[in-house]
Amino acid sequence: MSLIHLVYVSTARAELSQPELRRILAASARNNVPVEVTGMLLYSGGCFMQVLEGEEAAVDGVYGRIAADPRHKDVTVLERAPIEARSFPTWTMGFRQLGTGDAADHPSYAPFFAHGFDPRVLGARPGLALDLLREFGANQRD
Provide the binding-site residues for ligand FAD, judged by CB under 6 A.
Answer: 24, 27-28, 30-32, 41, 48, 50, 62, 65-66, 69-72, 93
Let me know: does 108 contact 54? Beta carbons within 8 Å.
no
Nearest distance, CB of residue 108 and ligand FAD, angstroms = 25
For ligand FAD, which is the closer residue by CB, 70 or 107? 70
Phi-psi region of 13 (alpha: psi -120 to 50; beta: other; left: phi over 0): alpha
For ligand FAD, which is the closer residue by CB, 11 or 104? 11
Nearest distance, CB of residue 104 and ligand FAD, angstroms = 25
Nearest distance, CB of residue 36 and ligand FAD, angstroms = 12
For ligand FAD, which is the closer residue by CB, 50 or 87? 50
Amino acid identity of 126? P
Nearest distance, CB of residue 88 and ligand FAD, angstroms = 11
